[in-house]
């Protein structure tokens, strides 16, 4: 279990992530993501998840991976950061986004990477740093 304290303006919010970076605390029945959920998703995703896109988290929207009209919950497990452009073009661009046990995965369009599979996606500097730390990690 991996617990992290996320300091925000105006207070401290606790976000609980598991070892793979899944957010396991915070939830809401509402259709709109709460500021708390948005902060948690921002911590996990770091910015627009589409590879090569450099739009920062503060300009991103939250995409329901399973549309709320199809019963997709408004929960961090079903919301990912994408920029305005990629949010509007997600249906037609060929990029695939899915959640795998709470972790966002991206699949490139066939024209870009034939045979390209699903891979975990994040632009979060803290999670990328975590991953590097784990890879080279102290031999305990
Ligand atoms: Zn984008």
pLDDT confidence of residue 26: 60
Q: CB within 5 A of ion ligand 1: which residues?
A: 48, 50, 53, 55, 83, 86
What's the pLDDT score for residue 132? 74
**What is the 13 CA–ligand 1 centroid distance (Å)?**
27
Distance 106 CA to ligand 1 centre (A): 12
Q: In this structure, are residues 4 and 59 in contact, taking their beta carbons and an 8 Å threshold?
A: no
SS3 87: helix
What was the pLDDT predicted at 2? 41
- The mean pLDDT of 48-74, rounded to a whole number, is 90
In the predicted model, what is the mean pLDDT of residues 42-51? 94
Give residue 83 CA to ligand 1 midpoint distance, Å: 4
Residue 41 in tokens: 């998703």
Cβ-Cβ contacts under 8 Å for 114 (sequence gap 6 or more): none
The pLDDT of residue 30 is 47
Separation between Cα atoms, residue 77 and residue 99, nearest integer Å: 7
Distance 54 CA to ligand 1 centre (A): 7
> What value does the mean pLDDT take over residues 92-113?
91
């Amino acid at each position: 279990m991996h617990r992290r304290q996320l300091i925000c303006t105006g207070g401290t919010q606790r976000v609980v992530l598991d070892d793979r970076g899944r957010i396991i605390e915070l939830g809401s029945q509402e259709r709109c993501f709460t500021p708390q959920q948005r902060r948690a998703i921002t911590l996990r995703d770091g910015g627009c998840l589409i590879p090569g896109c450099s739009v920062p988290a503060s300009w991103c929207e939250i995409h329901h991976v399973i549309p709320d009209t199809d019963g997709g919950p408004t929960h961090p497990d079903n919301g990912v950061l994408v920029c305005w452009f990629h949010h509007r073009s997600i249906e037609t661009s060929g990029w695939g986004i899915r959640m795998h046990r709470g972790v966002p995965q991206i699949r490139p369009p066939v024209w870009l990477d034939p045979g390209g599979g699903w891979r975990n996606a994040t632009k979060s500097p803290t999670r990328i740093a975590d991953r590097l730390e784990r890879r080279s990690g102290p031999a305990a």
